[in-house]
Amino acid sequence: MLPLTRHLDRLAELRPRLLAVSLGGASGNLAALGHKGLAVEARLAARLKLTTLALPWHTARDTILELGSLLALITGSLGKMGQDVVLLAQNEIGEVSLAGAGGSSTMPNKANPVAAEVLIALARSTGGLAGVLNQAALAEQERSGAAWLIEQLHLPDMLLQTGAALATAAELVAGLSVNEVAMRATFEAAQGLMLAEAASFALADHMPRSAAQALVKTACAEALASGQNLIDVLRSQTSAQIDWDSLKDPARHMGAADELIDRALEALRRG
C-alpha cells in the first residue's frame, strides 16, 4: 500500500500544475485584451480557483501527460497487488483467500480471484493507453487538433479505469484473509533453500566466505536432488560448530521485519 501514499504525494505536487488557467487568446499573447491581459488572466484564475503559469499552455501538454503517467502508476501499483494475490490464492499455494471469489462452471473446487484479475487487466490497459497518450506531446506550433483528439480519446478511459481499479482494490483488501498454516507449509516445501544466505553467513564464521558460499551452493544442488532439507545436508557435510536446529528455525531470520512493518504503518498513518 505504500506506493499509494507516494502517489498521493505525487498528486499533491501535480495539482497546482494541472489545475492551471489557460488564457492566451488567438495568438497566445493576450493581445485582444490590451494592457489588461495579465490582470484579466489573474482575475479569471482567482474566480475559477486555478493557478497561473508563466505562459499559456495551449500546446504544452506535458502536465496532461504527467496526469496520464500518474494514472498508469496508480493502476500499476494496484495491478501488482492483484498479481501477487492471484499467485498466492492458487489452490496449490492457498496462502490467501478471497471473500466473494468467482466460481467455475465446471470445477466446484475453484474460487477464481476475479477482483485481482480485474486489477491486472486495468493496469495493463491504463499503462498501454499512457503510452498512446504521450503522443499528444507532438503538437504543431500553437494548435494541434490531432494531439487534442488523442487526449479526448484516451484520457477519459484512463480516468475511469483508475477509479474502477481503486474501488476494486478496496473491495479486494476488505475480503482478503491470510492463511498462516499454508505460508509455513510453503516454507517447509522449499527444503530450507530460503536459508541459503543465512547458512553462508553462519559458515563464514568458521571458514573463508568463498568456501562457505561454495559449500552451500553444492549443498543446495544435493538438497534439490535428494529431497532433503538444505540445513540437514550441510549438517552432514561439515564439522563446523553451528547450532543447526536454531538455524533451521525460520523465526530466527525475520531480520528487521517488525521494525520495517512499524515504519510502513507509520508512513500510512501520516499519509
The CATH number that applies at residue 241 is: 1.10.40.30
Residues 205, 82 within the same domain: no
- 139 pLDDT tier (thresholds 50, 70, 90): confident
Residues 50, 97 within the same domain: no
Residues 195, 99 within the same domain: no
Residues 11, 95 within the same domain: yes
Note down the domain range covering 50.
21-56
Residues 14, 145 within the same domain: yes
Residues 215, 116 within the same domain: no
pLDDT > 80? residue 271: no
- 178 pLDDT tier (thresholds 50, 70, 90): very high
Give me the mean pLDDT over the 132-151 stretch.
86
Note the pTM of the prediction, 2 decimals: 0.84
Share of the chain above pLDDT 90, in %: 65
CA dist 28 to 23, 42, 104, 217, Å? 8, 15, 59, 68
Give me the mean pLDDT over the 230-235 stretch.
94
- Catalytic (active-site) positions: 104, 143
Q: pLDDT tens digits, residue range 20-56?
A: 998 888 778 888 888 999 999 999 999 999 999 888 8
Number of domains in the chain: 3
CA dist 159 to 14, 149, 243, Å? 15, 16, 56
Q: What is the CA radius of gyration of the chain?
A: 28
Residue 144's pLDDT is 78
Share of the chain above pLDDT 70, in %: 95
For the beta carbon of residue 189, count every other beta carbon within 10 angstroms. Answer: 10
Looking at beta carbons, which pairs linking 112-118 to residues 24 or more positions away fall under 8 Å?
A: 113/82, 113/85, 113/86, 113/89, 115/82, 115/168, 115/169, 115/171, 115/172, 115/175, 116/81, 116/82, 116/83, 116/85, 116/86, 116/89, 116/172, 117/82, 117/86, 118/82, 118/164, 118/165, 118/168
Give me the mean pLDDT over the 79-104 stretch.
85
- 91 pLDDT tier (thresholds 50, 70, 90): confident
Mean of pLDDT over the chain:
90
- 253 pLDDT tier (thresholds 50, 70, 90): confident
Residues 145, 214 within the same domain: no
Lowest mean pLDDT among 72-76, 146-150, 203-207: 146-150
Residues 13, 138 within the same domain: yes
20 strand-pairing partners: 51
Residue 106's pLDDT is 54
Residues 7, 135 within the same domain: yes
Pairing relation of β-strands 96-98 and 176-178? antiparallel
Residues 44, 162 within the same domain: no
Residues 139, 201 within the same domain: no
**What does the alpha-carbon distance between residue 2 and residue 268 come to, in Å, rounded to a whole number?**
7
Residue 55's pLDDT is 85
Q: Which residues contact 271 (CB under 8 A, 6 or more apart)?
A: 4, 5, 8, 9
Helices (H) and strands (E) in the chain, counts: 11, 2
Asked if 152 contacts 63 with a C-beta cutoff of 8 angstroms, the reply is no
Residue 105's pLDDT is 54
By C-alpha distance, which of 137, 167, 147, 5 is closest to 62? 137
